[in-house]
Every structure is written in C-alpha cells, then in structure tokens.
Structure 1
Amino acid sequence: MEDETTFDPDLIHAIFKLVWTRRALERQKNEGADALDFQVGAGTSKKNRPTYANANALKLSCELLRVFITEAVQRAATIAEAEGVSKIEATHLERILPQLLLDF
C-alpha cells in the first residue's frame, strides 16, 4: 500500500480545539441565560471537564478526512468529465455532495 500524504494531525487537533472552545463559549452563554430557570449541581458542568483527543483518534480523523476529500474530488471530476469540462467547479461539488454525505 502506498504511503499517501494525509493531513497534519496537529492541524486537525487545532481545528478540533477551536470547535470545542466555541461550543464551550456557547454553552456558557446558554447557561447564563438558563441560570434563572434552574441551578446545576456541583461538578455536573461540561465546561469543568477538559476535552482532549487521543493520538490514534487524530490519526483516524486525518485519514477519514483524506478519504472523504479524495472521494469528493473523484466524483466531481467524473461529473465534470461527463459534461466535457476539464476543470472541477463548485457546481460539480454541489451536485455530488448530497450522495457523498449519505455514503459517509
């Protein structure tokens, strides 16, 4: 099997951390709005628990993204070729996206 290039695990981890941080901030905003309705018991808040990614989970995420993007490009290229176009455009990706998401 060829050693294909994949995404940098540090990049994927940074993206995950960004998403986790944004979600934590949203939760804090929502908890502030809901604080008048009820009180949460001590230690039950998700914001107190650290979120981390296992090294193997990061490798798997990188591989999944690589396969997903490769498949998207191949399907879009097939559509472009059928239309007689030599360049993949956004419309080609838009056409393959629904089925691609169902397949994954």
Structure 2
Amino acid sequence: MEEEPTFDTDLIHAIFKNIWTRRALERARNEADDAVDGEQAGAGTTKKNRLTSANVNALKLSCELLRLFVTEAVQRAATIAEAEGATKIEATHLERILPQLLLDF
C-alpha cells in the first residue's frame, strides 16, 4: 500500500517550537509585569519554565491531522468552486467553507 504524502515532521516540530518559545516569552514578560516591588516569581525550575518537547508519535499524528484538514478544505472549496462554474479555487471559496470546516474538526 502506497503511503499518502504528508507534512514533514521536522517542519511541524519547528513550527510547534516557535509557538512554544513565543508563549514562554509572553509568560515570562507577564510574570515580570506582575512582580510587585521587586519580588521574585520563584526560584528553580517549575512546570512553566521547563522546555516543551514533542513525542515522535505526536508529531506524526499532528502531520496526519494537518494533511486531512488541508485535503478536506481543498475538497470542500473545490465543490463550491464547481457549483459556481469556476475552474480554479479562489480565496473566497476557502473563506466560505472555513467556518463549517473548523466546526467539523
């Protein structure tokens, strides 16, 4: 059985790491803003300060979910485009299917 093409796990991992890093920086900034009169938020490694990582199987599953999501979006947009007599999928077709697609996923 031929395997379906999917997203590169390294790419998805890099995207996840970027998001995790941004959120960690935002949390640190918010905690610094919340500190009153020079109090330290707490020393040592807490759950909030630990690096976030992704399991290999979780990355594979995330890639598969993204593949299914994109495939479904294209199929639904193609149906709308075909119903309108268009030969190409336009951004407006994607905009029309997006609300229901997000509810379905």
**TM-score above 0.5, yes or no:** yes
The match for 2:99 is 98
The match for 1:56 is 57
The match for 1:12 is 12
Identity level (%)? 79
Cα distance in 1 for partners of 2:52, 2:86 equals 45
CA displacement at 1:2 relative to structure 2: 3.7
User: Which structure 1 segments of 5+ residues have no match?
Assistant: none
Q: 36-45 or 11-20: which moved more?
A: 36-45
Query: Does 2:66 match 1:65?
Result: yes
Q: Which amino acid aligns with 2:74?
A: V
C-alpha RMSD of the superposition: 1.6
CA displacement at 1:20 relative to structure 2: 0.4
> How many residue pairs get matched?
103
Superposed CA deviations along residues 7-64 of structure 1, whole A, max 9, x for unmatched, are 00000000000000011111111011001187544443512x1200000000000000
Cα distance in 1 for partners of 2:92, 2:56 equals 36
User: Which structure 2 segments of 5+ residues have no match?
Assistant: none
Cα distance in 2 for partners of 1:22, 1:41 equals 21
* TM-score scaled by length of structure 2: 0.90
